[in-house]
Amino acid sequence: ETGVTQTPRHLVMGMTNKKSLKCEQHLGHNAMYWYKQSAKKPLELMFVYNFKEQTENNSVPSRFSPECPNSSHLFLHLHTLQPEDSALYLCASSQEGLNTGELFFGEGSRLTVL
């Protein structure tokens, strides 16, 4: 596989469920990101990992818990979500240090919270 892959593509969960989103990048990059895409709103940066260390958490509620076990994998653990958390969650990667501003995105995981 190439690029950035996200699984699952679609997820429906209740407010009391626990689930996880997975992201894997095959580009040799060392920075990975989670973005939230809601209708008619700017993309919201949630978390940034650089060399497996979390370098940014944009005041994301604790019901979202990221995990980055290595520079190729990124998870978003979900627990006790709210209906307003329904959105498309996008994973991206980049090569830190090049300052090109180019992010490589996965196709996203469409989350619906009932």
Partner 1 sequence: GDSVTQMEGPVTLSEEAFLTINCTYTATGYPSLFWYVQYPGEGLQLLLKATKADDKGSNKGFEATYRKETTSFHLEKGSVQVSDSAVYFCALSDRGDYKLSFGAGTTVTVRA
Alpha-carbon distances, residue 35 vs 1, 16, 82 (angstroms): 22, 23, 17
Interaction between residue 103 and partner 1 (CB under 8 A): yes
Burial class from Cβ neighbours inside 10 Å (0-12, 13-18, 19+) for residue 1 reads exposed
Structure tokens at 10: 């679609």
The one segment of 11-19, 41-49, 59-67, 71-79 that binds partner 1 by CB under 8 A: 41-49
What is the distance between the alpha carbons of residues 80 and 60, in angstroms, rounded to a whole number?
14
Per CB under 8 A, contacts with partner 1 among 56-75 are 56
Interaction between residue 10 and partner 1 (CB under 8 A): no
Interaction between residue 13 and partner 1 (CB under 8 A): no
Residue type, position 65, single letter: S
Which of 11, 13, 43, 60 touches partner 1 by CB under 8 A? 43
**Which residues contribute to the site for partner 1 (CB under 8 A)?**
4, 31, 40-43, 45, 48, 56, 90, 92, 94, 96, 98-108
